Structure 1
């Protein structure tokens, strides 16, 4: 929460915010992960990821409740690291990691919003000449206006709409997939994993990183690098479903991405406004409005510029995701619990937590290597302001 925000949110509002942060358009990258893992491996990883993250979030809740009862209410991840691991871990590891991941998500979502706008444009003007960076700037300009909402609590209604749209576009993509599967125009079905050898191995680790980051938060590591949203609903540029269906689904995705950007912008806002705002004055006072306007606008302008310049940012974000999302969601909760409650070293809980933390650390490192490899392979296509 921003330092000048009123602490008036309910548990229901918290649910809206969590949904926008987690159930985001990153869901649309799951088919890509499933294609690399196959049906059996994909379903197993999805199920395991869901169980582990559910468990880790419960551990975080227990740790937060325990420290609150001791009179140390922890509002941020870095506060937990500061109190449990030590000041250095909170300041120099967890805080930069979380800020980098969240701001990277803002850049990635602005790029995704621009891609969604371009897709909508090409549906109506198949031979249109507008390039991607223009759509990114249009989307960034919209975010520039909405980012001036003073606090996290101000986003509660937007995030409620986000929750509804998430359900709608997931329903649309599911219905579209079923329709295409039964259509005579559909290409031949082939569910086999086509890659072999080293490519298949790295593909598996990439897929696991995608699933982990999708469960962990709304970071989008692969959608951008895979081209237009819902591209599997088209063959050779020709839609396999009605254009109005593609248009409607992309509009829902576009609007939902707006809520995701605003949600992931909050940690940056907190850092800036803690330094330049006055929490003792009203959030709409000139003393608070002026620095908010300046620094939030600067933050969005920089993110929009990077998104327009680096349309291959998805590859870079995959690397950040491997280094950031897995440690924050699969490693630190287990470590926090063990250090806070100190379960017996002979107990299943202790060794279960340690096993999850160690395996997740290994997956994080291997996923980072796989991401670097993908960057190297795609480097030949990199060009500033590329029209991807």
Structure 2
């Protein structure tokens, strides 16, 4: 659950301001916990059948063809978008580690660090399934908790800056509005677990006496407690210490104590190695299913080799071309994460269970749907403007 998006939360706070920022952080936590509960409940709502993939649940709710067209493109955008962002994050964290450990060493391009980070995935991508990466996933979880704690404790150690300002980053009204929109996408990006929750629940044994939803829901509660412990201190302390001068990755703003910041950046690298694989697995599954069932390729190692290395190479190339951490987070957070995380589970719930009009469930779902659609519309607009502004001063492959 705790992804690299946590590192951008202080920057999001700087674009939202204290009041709206705190409200949006808490509201997102509550809404996404509610929609995650819905997905856990819907996993086995048909006796004797389990919906092990997001698109299978979509097909049950909307029909065989429409369900695929509604869910699969959104899921793919999320998972490919995460792959690109994690490539950028891994490369930037490796560069920060190198620059912190060897401040007098010759400057090495970010492009090369993204290539170094991406190279390990050419090997890890051949792990067969989600169960086989449980060790990598556990390491990623420990790392995310560690670097989140380092981010806010190092900020406390640094202390509030003398020239700190809590005014909006942008000076113009237009800039403030678009910055606000983009920050909404940053917050949405931080809540990313919904896209693989059914695949994870599918790995839990289930019987009528002991359905999988009970241990899964306990896991979700623990995950969301950890999310709160990580997200809220990083967002609030990071913004309190740096104000509107904070970078789009809080660890880039910190430089002392040097050994601790270097360690935190290496933790980020280890974490996003695991996270990349978790979100790449469903893409590999989709690609290979299409190649075998639709295009009649023979399922073999050669097929896996070409399909998986091509995907890793694509995400690495995209990351090298557009390494804009903040802008990419806001864009994918609004465009792809808002539907799959904030309101698609609510639409499915309404379609399947048909709660009574004006009941508490009906109201709760419609509020989530309206807020989610607004987020999906405005966040990519603000983020796209940010990417365009960043691209104006950026030299490709530098």
TM-score w.r.t. the length of structure 2 is: 0.79
1:110 counterpart residue number: 87
Among candidates 173, 176, 187, match of residue 197 of structure 1: 173
Once the two structures are superposed, residues 81-123 of structure 1 have per-residue CA deviations (whole angstroms, 9 ceiling, x without a partner) of: 1111123333223101211220121121112111111112222
Among 178, 188, 191, the residue aligned to 2:163: 188
Structure 1 residues 161-201: Cα deviation after superposition (integer angstroms, max 9, x where no partner): 1111111111111210110016xxx4433333354522222
Aligned positions of 1:4-43 closer than 5 A? 22-43=1-22
Q: Please state whether the residue corresponding to 2:167 is helix, strand or coil.
A: coil
> 1:48, 1:74 → 2: CA distance?
28
**Corresponding position of 2:238:** none
State the partner residue of 2:358.
Answer: 346
1:129 match: 107
Matches of 2:169 and 2:335, distance apart in 1: 28
Rounded to whole Å, the distance in 1 between the matches of 2:260 and 2:315 is 31
- 1:137-216 matches, within 5 Å, as 137-181=115-159, 186-195=161-170, 197-216=173-192
- In structure 2, the partner of 1:63 is 42
- In the superposition, relative to structure 1, how do residues 310 and 376 fare at CA in structure 2: closer, same or farther (>3 Å)? closer
Measure the CA separation in 2 of the matches of 1:262 and 1:176.
29
Residue 139 of structure 2 aligns to a residue in which SS?
Answer: helix
Query: How is 1:360-375 mapped onto 2 (pairs within 5 angstroms)?
Result: 360-375=372-387
CA contact (8 A) 1:159 1:259 kept: yes
Tell me the equivalent position of 2:228: none
Deviates more, 1:47-56 or 1:266-275: 266-275
**How big is the shift at 1:277?**
6.5
What is the aligned counterpart of 1:232 among 239, 245, 253?
A: 253
Structure 2 distance, partners of 1:341, 1:227, is: 41
Does the aligned pair in 2 maintain the 1:108–1:314 contact within 8 Å? no
5+ residue gaps, structure 2: 196-245
Q: Distance in 1 between matches of 2:78 and 2:354?
A: 30
Residue 379 of structure 1 deviates from its aligned partner by: 3.7
Between 125-134 and 73-82, the greater mean CA deviation after superposition:
125-134
Three-state SS of the structure 2 residue aligned to 1:384 is: coil
Corresponding residue number in structure 1 for 2:53 = 76
Structure 1's 174 and 321: CA in aligned 2 closer, same or farther, altered over 3 A?
closer
Contact 2:44/2:51 (CA < 8 Å) preserved in 1? no
Q: Which moved more, 1:312-321 or 1:325-334?
A: 312-321
TM-score normalised to the size of structure 1? Answer: 0.81
| Aligned-pair CA distance for 1:57 | 0.9
When residues 229 and 145 of structure 1 are mapped into structure 2, their CA distance, relative to the original with a 3 A threshold, is farther
Matched, 1:44 2:23: yes
Query: Which stretch has the larger CA shift, 309-318 or 342-351?
Result: 309-318
User: For 2:356 and 2:68, how far apart are their aligned partners in 1?
Assistant: 29
Cα contact 2:5–2:187 (8 A) shared by 1: no
CA 306–368 in structure 1, closer or farther in 2 if over 3 Å, else same? closer
Residues matched between the structures, number: 342
Task: Please give the alpha-carbon distance, in whole angstroms, between the structure 1 residues aligned to 2:155 and 2:328.
Answer: 29
Q: Structure 1: which 5+ runs fail to align?
A: 1-21, 220-224, 234-238, 279-285
Asked if the contact 1:24–1:218 (Cα under 8 Å) also holds between the matched residues in 2, the reply is no
Structure 1: how far apart are the matches of 2:34 and 2:249? 34
CA contact (8 A) 2:93 2:265 kept: yes
1:255 aligns with 2:233: no
In structure 2, relative to structure 1, the CA distance for the partners of 1:317 and 1:52 (3 Å cut) is closer
Q: 1:294 to 1:351 in 2, by over 3 A?
A: same
